[in-house]
Structure 1
Amino acid sequence: MHSRENLSGPCGERPEMPRLSSMLRPREMMAVALAIGVVGGAIVSAAEPVTFEKHVRPILKTHCFLCHGESGVAKGKLDLRLRRWLVRGGESGAAIVAGQPDESYLVDRIALGEMPPGEKRLAAEEIEVIRKWIAAGAVTARPEPETIEGGNYLSEEDRSFWSFQPVRRPAVPAIRNSHQLRTPIDAFLLKRLEERGLSMSDPATRAVLIRRVTFDLVGLPPTPEQVRQFVEDQEPGAWQRLVQRLMASPRYGERWGRHWLDAAGYADSEGYSDEDRIRPSAFRFRDYVIRSFNEDRPFDKFVVQQLAGDELVPPPGQTLSPEQIEALAATGFLRMAPDGTGSGGVVAVVARNEVVADTIRIVSTSLLGLTVGCARCHDHRYDPISQADYYRIRAIFEPALDPKNWRTPDGRKLSLYTDSDRAEKKRIEAEAVKVDQEKKKKTEFYITRTLEEELLLVPEGVRKPLRTAYRLASGKRSDEQKTLLKKYPSVANISAGSLYLYDRRRDVRAGKLDAERKQKEKRFLAETRKANPGVKVTAANLAKLNPRAAAELEADRKTAIRLRSEKAAADLKTFAARAEEIRARIPSEGFLRALTEVPGKVPATFVFYRGDHQQPQQKVEPGELSVVNLHAPVKLPVNDKAVPTTGRRLAYARHLVSGRHPLVARVIVNRIWMHHFGRGLVSSPGDFGVLGERPTHPGLLDWLADEFVRSGWQIKRLHRLILDSWAFRQSSSRTLELDRIDPDNLLLGRMSIRRLESEALRDAILAISGSMNPGMYGEPVSVMEDAVGQIVLGKENLDGERKPTKTIDLEGEQFRRSLYVQVRRTRPLGVLETFDVPVMTPNCSKRSSSNVAPQSLMLMNSDFVIEYSQRLARRVETEAGPDRRSQVLRAWQLAYGVDPDPAVVSDLLAFVERQSEAFGKVVAKNDGATPPQRAMASLCQALLSANRFLYVD
Structure 2
Amino acid sequence: MIFRVRLILTMLLAGTAVCFQSCNKSSENTAVEEDIPKEVSYNFDIRPILSDKCLACHGPDANKREAGLRLDVAENAFKALQENPKAHALVAGKPELSQVYLRITTADTALRMPPTGSNLKLTQREVDLIGKWIKQGAKYEKHWAFVAPKKPALPEVDNKDWPKNEIDYFILDKQEQKGLEPNAEADKERLLKRLSLDLTGLPPTLKMMDEFMADNSANAYEKMVDQLLKNPAYGEKMAIHWLDLARYADSHGYQDDGYRTQWPWRDWVIHAFNKNMHYNDFVTWQLAGDLLPNSSKEQLLATGFNRNHKITEEGGVIPEEYRIMYVTDRNDLFGKGLLGVTLECAHCHDHKYDPFSQKEYYQMFAFFNNVKEVGIESVIGGPETYAKKPLMEISNQDVKDILTFVNKPDTNRLIVSVMGDLDTLRKTHILLRGVYDAPGDEVQPATPTSILPFDKNLPKNRLGLSKWLFDKRNPLTSRVYVNILWQEFFGKGIVKTSGDFGMQGELPSHPALLDWLATDFMDHGWDIKRLVKQMVTSATYKQSAVVTKEKLATDPDNILLARGPRYRIHAEFIKDLVLASSGLLNKTIGGPSVKPYQPAGLWEGATSGRGLLSVYNQDHGGALYRRGMYTLIKRTVPPPTMSIFDASNRDLCEVKRLKTNTPLQALVMMNDPAVLEASRVLAAKLLQEKTESKDKITKAFRLIVCRKPSEKELDVLTAYYDKQIKSIKPATAEKMVAVGEYPLTKNLDKKAQAALMRVISTIYNLEETITKS
Indicate the TM-score class for this superposition, using the shorter chain for normalisation: 0.7 to 0.9
Q: How does 1:594-605 map to 2 (within 5 A)?
A: 594-599=418-423, 601-605=424-428
CA distance in 2, matches of 1:405, 1:913: 64
Inter-CA distance 139–187: structure 2 relative to 1 (3 Å threshold): closer
Amino acid in structure 1 at the alignment position of 2:263? F
Query: Could you say which residue in structure 1 is the equivalent of 2:550?
Result: 737
For the pair 1:174 / 2:146, whether they are aligned, the reply is no
| Secondary structure class of the residue paired with 1:617 | strand
Q: 1:88 to 1:705 in 2, by over 3 A?
A: closer
Distance 1:84 1:199 in 2: 45
Q: How does 1:377-456 map to 2 (within 5 A)?
A: 377-400=348-371, 410-417=388-395
| Contact preservation (8 Å) 1:665, 1:706 | yes
Counterpart position of 2:6: none
1:813 to 608, 616, 623: 623
Q: 1:43 aligns with which of 33, 42, 45?
A: 45
Structure label with greater radius of gyration: 1
2:431·2:440 contact (CA, 8 Å) conserved in 1? Answer: yes
How large is the Cα RMSD of the aligned pairs?
4.4
TM-score, normalising length: structure 1 = 0.66
- Select which of 424, 429, 445 maps to 1:622: 445
Counterpart of 2:289 in structure 1 is 309
Secondary structure of the corresponding residue to residue 781 of structure 1 = coil
Q: Is it true that 1:853 corresponds to 2:684 in the alignment?
A: no
Tell me what 2:267 maps to: 287
CA–CA distance in 2 between the matches of 1:325 and 1:813?
28
- How many Å separate the matches in 2 of 1:602 and 1:404? 18
Q: Distance in 1 between matches of 2:493 and 2:98?
A: 45
Report how far residue 654 of structure 1 moved.
Answer: 1.3
Work out the CA distance in 2 between the residues paired with 1:684 and 1:240.
31
**Per-residue CA shift, 1:277-319, capped at 9, x if unaligned?**
2222x112111110110000011111111110000144xxxxx
Aligned residue type for 2:179: G
| Deviation at residue 215 of structure 1 after TM alignment | 0.3
Alpha-carbon displacement from aligned partner over 1:119-168 (angstroms, at most 9, x marks no partner) = x96335389999999999x99989xxxxxxxxxxxxx85x6111001110
Q: CA deviation at 1:869?
A: 1.4
Could you tell me which of 917, 934, 939 is aligned with 2:726?
Answer: 917
Establish whether residue 777 from structure 1 lines up as the match of residue 586 from structure 2: no
Is the CA contact (8 Å cut-off) linking 2:353 and 2:503 kept in structure 1? yes
1:326 aligns with 2:298: yes
Q: Report the CA distance shift for 1:375/1:887 in structure 2 as closer, same or farther (over 3 A).
A: same
Matches of 1:814 and 1:779, distance apart in 2: 13
Counterpart residue identity of residue 846, structure 1: K
Q: Who is 2:432 aligned against?
A: 609
Task: Rate the CA distance shift 1:133–1:401 in 2: closer, same or farther, 3 A.
Answer: farther
Amino acid at match of 1:909: T
Q: Which amino acid aligns with 1:597?
A: D
Is the Cα contact below 8 Å between 2:45 and 2:129 reproduced in 1? Answer: no
Cα gap change, 1:672/1:382 in structure 2, threshold over 3 Å: closer, same or farther?
same
Tell me the SS of whatever aligns to 2:62.
Answer: coil
Distance 2:89 2:192 in 1: 65
CA distance 1:128–1:390, shift in 2 (3 Å): farther
Partner of 2:345: 374
CA 1:871–1:702 in structure 2 vs 1: closer, same or farther (change >3 Å)? same
Closer, same or farther: CA 311–405 of 1 in aligned 2, 3 Å: farther
- Displacement after TM superposition at 1:605 (Å): 1.4
Give the drift of 1:392: 1.1
Aligned to 1:591: 415
Q: Distance in 2 between matches of 1:223 and 1:59?
A: 54
Q: Distance in 2 between matches of 1:163 and 1:921?
A: 66
Equivalent of residue 456 in structure 2, options 635, 642, 652: 635
Residue 347 of structure 1 corresponds to which residue in structure 2?
318
Match of 1:950?
A: 770
Kindly state the Cα deviation for residue 376 of structure 1 after the two structures are TM-superposed: 0.6
CA distance in structure 1 between the aligned counterparts of 2:60 and 2:125, rounded to whole angstroms: 14
Q: CA deviation at 1:242?
A: 0.5
- In the alignment, what sits opposite 1:654? 467
- Alpha-carbon separation, structure 1, partners of 2:560 and 2:645: 28
Cα 1:883/1:627, change in 2 over 3 Å: same
Aligned to 1:684: 497
2:308 counterpart residue number: 336
Give the 3 Å change call, closer, same or farther, for CA 751–654 of structure 1 in structure 2: same
Q: For residues 624 and 139 of structure 1, do their structure 2 counterparts lie closer, same or farther at Cα, with a shift above 3 Å needed?
A: farther
What residue in structure 1 maps to residue 566 of structure 2?
753
**How many aligned positions are there?**
697
% same residue = 29
8 Å Cα contact 2:590/2:630 also seen in 1: yes
Determine if the alignment matches structure 1 residue 243 to structure 2 residue 225: yes
Residue 765 of structure 2 aligns to which amino acid in structure 1?
Answer: S
* Match for residue 724 of structure 1 among 520, 525, 537: 537
Higher relative contact order (CA 8 A, sep 6+): 1
User: In 1, are the aligned partners of 2:730 and 2:750 still within 8 Å (CA)?
Assistant: no
Shift of 1:829: 1.5
Deviates more, 1:912-921 or 1:740-749: 912-921
Question: 1:841, CA displacement in angstroms?
Answer: 3.0
Does 2:193 align with 1:211? yes
**1:58-69 aligned within 5 A:** 58-61=55-58, 65-66=62-63
State the distance in 2 between where 1:589 and 1:952 align: 42
The change in CA–CA distance for 1:868 and 1:617 in structure 2 (over 3 A counts) is same
Q: Does 1:694 align with 2:514?
A: no
Deviation at 1:731, TM superposition (A): 0.9
Kindly report which structure 2 residues correspond to 1:25-174, keeping only aligned pairs within 5 A, or say none: 42-43=44-45, 58-61=55-58, 65-66=62-63, 79-81=68-70, 82=76, 87-88=81-82, 122-125=118-121, 157=140, 160-174=142-156
Give the structure 2 partner of residue 198 of structure 1. Answer: 180
Paired residue type of 1:850: T
> 2:328 — aligned with what?
357
SS in 2 for 1:43: helix
Structure 2 residue aligned with 1:829, among 639, 656, 659? 639
- Unmatched segments (≥5 aa) in structure 2: 1-18, 24-32, 71-75, 91-96, 379-384, 400-408, 739-743
Aligned to 1:896: 705
Q: 2:694 aligns with which of 885, 892, 909?
A: 885
- Return 5+ residue gaps in structure 1 as ranges: 1-15, 21-32, 70-77, 143-155, 315-322, 422-584, 641-646
For 1:691 and 1:247, the matched residues in 2 are separated by: 36
For residues 502-544 of structure 1, give each alpha carbon's deviation from its aligned partner in whole angstroms, at most 9, with x where no partner exists.
xxxxxxxxxxxxxxxxxxxxxxxxxxxxxxxxxxxxxxxxxxx
Query: Which residue is equivalent to 1:843?
Result: 653
Secondary structure of the residue aligned to 2:121 is helix
CA distance change for structure 1 residues 325 and 84 in 2, over 3 Å: closer, same or farther?
same
> Which letter maps to 2:712?
A
Instruction: Please give the per-residue CA displacement for 1:554-587, whole angstroms capped at 9, x wherever unaligned.
Output: xxxxxxxxxxxxxxxxxxxxxxxxxxxxxxx994
Q: 1:372 to 1:636 in 2, by over 3 A?
A: farther
Matched, 1:872 2:682: yes
Structure-2 separation of matches of 1:797 and 1:614: 32
Alpha-carbon distance in structure 1 between the residues aligned to 2:411 and 2:428: 43
Asked if structure 2 preserves the Cα contact closer than 8 Å seen for 1:414 and 1:594, the reply is: yes
Letter aligned with residue 288 of structure 1: W
- AA partner of residue 753 (structure 2): Q
Q: Partners in 2 of 1:737 and 1:330 — Cα distance? A: 50
Q: Say which SS state the counterpart of residue 429 (structure 2) adopts.
A: strand
Work out the CA distance in 1 between the residues paired with 2:581 and 2:493: 30
The 2-side partners of 1:277 and 1:798 are apart by 8
Q: How far 1:946 moved relative to its partner?
A: 0.3
Relative to structure 1, is the Cα distance of residues 312 and 898 closer, same or farther in structure 2, using a 3 angstrom cutoff?
A: same
Structure 1 residue 674 corresponds to structure 2 residue 487? yes
Are residues 764 and 791 of structure 1, via their aligned partners in 2, closer, same or farther at CA, if it must alter by over 3 Å? farther
**Counterpart of 1:270 in 2: which secondary structure?**
coil
* Separation in 1, partners of 2:130, 2:233: 62
Amino acid corresponding to residue 657 of structure 2 in structure 1: R
